[in-house]
Amino acid sequence: MKYAIVDFRTSFEEKNNLMNLGYEVLICPPSDLLYEAVCGHPDILLHIISDDTIMVHKDINKEFINKLTSMNFKVVFSQNSLEEKYPYDIFLNSVNMPNLFVHNLKYTDPNLMLYVKNKKLINVRQGYTKCSTAIVNEKAVMTSDKSIAKALLAENIDVLLLPPKDILLPGLNYGFIGGCCGLLDKNTMAFYGNLNNYLYGNEVINFLNKYNIKPIFLSSGKLIDRGSIFIIEN
């Protein structure tokens, strides 16, 4: 079975489109430790370590833990508790690639570091690293952050650097490219919103075409940052 972990504010249309694609939708339980704009964002509340292991923030809803374990996923916990004020909300918000781990390493959760210590660790200034980065494949990413782009280009990763803004994030000025999408499989990327309504949509479409990835639009409006779409399978 394939599951899509999403923010609790994901619209009926977006959830229905994911279900029509064959995914069971799992609502990531929001945290009252965070401010409202990001309180349900999966990329802040949890981290996909591997195909069968998920790290969640230590105070997450117990029913969600039971749901994951009943589906035979291994659930492990952060050492830190989330706090509303930056940088105490970023400790799981990192980019985890097959051979690289990218984050503001000063604030990465110690328990998460135990799982990635054998990868090449790349330190960047941007704490909201996963929000800022959409992984296309193990050799390509899209990001709106110059420090991430510079660091990954040095690792021979193909980077599409996008200007910030023109992505909605209710409650804040704007959202990020990583938070409005997610790979469904190696040839498909789903977006909250439609790239045709994004200032840099053509650049994104061309970059995805380069890697034979088809964009799927879960809704028809502007792109909206809901904190990444995470796909897990059992």
Q: 19 pairs with which residues across the strands? A: none
Neighbours of 90 (CB within 10 A): 22
Assess contact for 3 and 227: CB atoms under 8 A: no
The CATH topology of domain 2-233 is L-arginine/glycine Amidinotransferase; Chain A (3.75.10)
Assess contact for 159 and 186: CB atoms under 8 A: no
Neighbours of 60 (CB within 10 A): 20
The values of phi and psi at residue 184, to 5°, are -85, -40
DSSP 58-125: TT--HHHHHHHHHTT-EEEE-SSPP-SSTTTT-TT--EE-SSEEEE-GGGS-HHHHHHHTTSEEEE-S
Place of tokens 């990444």: 228
Assess contact for 227 and 179: CB atoms under 8 A: yes
Question: What are the mean pLDDT values of the chain's consecutive 10-residue runs (234 residues total)?
Answer: 97 98 98 97 98 97 97 97 97 98 98 97 97 98 97 98 95 96 98 98 98 98 98 95
**Taking phi first (over 0 means left), then psi (-120 to 50 degrees means alpha), and beta for anything else, what does residue 212 get?**
left
Peptide bond before residue 87 is cis, with ω within 30 degrees of 0: yes
- In the chain, where are the structural domains located? 2-233
Q: What is the pLDDT of residue 78?
A: 98
Q: Hey, what are 143's tokens?
A: 């990001």
